[in-house]
């Protein structure tokens, strides 16, 4: 198969799928070697840039998806008459951070870290396709484990979970006793 024919095959598969497709599945469906598929995707992205196209092929972990460029989102939303996305609440952002850094986790783990009932927030994030069920743990009650989704990666502009910033250490923080000393010293 000629390289240009391979480009057409990969582009057609990505367009028709709509959702992210694993690289191995893309290789199998196209009958093109993995290294060549990756080169084709790079070349397609170069072509989209040269032509100032509205499209881009985005890598999400080990998957690829044909997407429109962010600057066209308002027009697409208007055409599809979708409701305005409600921003994530502070509670939702906290739950996402807990899951992203510790995944897979259970609702009870999230609640233990936050100190409040988080069932509604977790369920809301599952509905918004930012979290997904990852199976059940082999513990009493067989609790459901949750992890972040490819949609989470796309929404936060990451290729994979390793794109998360590191958790700050406690070296620059003061403890409560130091705070009390500072407060009482300042009052004298």
Question: How far, in Å, are 48, 119, 130 from residue 106 at the CA level?
Answer: 42, 10, 15
pLDDT at 102: 93
**Domain membership flag for residue 79:** no
Give the number of other Cβ atoms within 10 Å of residue 143's Cβ. Answer: 15
Over residues 119-131, mean pLDDT: 91
Q: CA 7 to CA 38: how far, in whole Å?
A: 10
Whether 119 and 161 map to the same domain: the answer is: yes
Here the CATH number for the domain that contains residue 114 is 1.10.10.10
Q: Count CA within 13 A, CB hemisphere, residue 133.
A: 8
95 close to 108: Cβ distance less than 8 angstroms: no
Whether 58 and 99 map to the same domain: the answer is: no
Whether 50 and 118 map to the same domain: the answer is: no
Over residues 85-94, mean pLDDT: 85
pTM: 0.54
Query: Residue 57: beta bridge partners?
Result: 66
Q: CA 90 to CA 169: how far, in whole Å?
A: 22
Whether 110 and 144 map to the same domain: the answer is: yes
Range of the domain at 61: 3-73
Q: CA 147 to CA 158: how far, in whole Å?
A: 15
3-state secondary structure 124-157: HHHHCCCEEEEEECCCCCCCEEEEECHHHHHHCC
Q: Is the pLDDT of residue 3 over 90?
A: no
6 close to 36: Cβ distance less than 8 angstroms: yes
pLDDT at 144: 92
**Domain membership flag for residue 104:** yes
Of 180 and 115, which is predicted with more confidence?
Answer: 115
Over residues 114-128, mean pLDDT: 91
How does residue 172 score in pLDDT terms, banded at 50, 70 and 90?
A: low
Question: 127 — alpha (psi -120 to 50), left (phi > 0) or beta?
Answer: alpha
């Amino acid at each position: 198969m000629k390289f240009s024919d391979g480009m057409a095959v990969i582009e057609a598969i990505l367009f028709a799928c709509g959702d992210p497709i694993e690289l191995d599945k893309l290789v199998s469906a196209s009958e093109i070697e993995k290294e060549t598929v990756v080169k084709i995707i790079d070349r397609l992205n170069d072509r989209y840039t040269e032509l100032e196209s509205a499209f881009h092929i985005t890598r999400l972990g080990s998957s690829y998806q044909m997407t429109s460029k962010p600057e066209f989102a308002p027009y697409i939303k208007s055409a599809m008459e979708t409701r305005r996305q409600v921003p994530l609440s502070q509670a939702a952002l906290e739950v996402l951070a807990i899951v992203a850094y510790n995944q897979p986790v259970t609702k009870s783990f999230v609640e233990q870290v936050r100190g409040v009932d988080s069932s509604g927030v977790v369920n809301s994030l599952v509905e918004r396709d930012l979290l997904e069920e990852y199976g059940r743990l082999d513990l009493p009650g067989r609790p459901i484990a949750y992890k972040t989704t490819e949609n989470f990666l796309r929404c936060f502009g990451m290729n994979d979970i390793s794109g998360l910033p590191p958790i700050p250490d406690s070296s620059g923080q003061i403890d409560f006793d130091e705070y009390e000393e500072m407060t009482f010293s300042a009052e004298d």
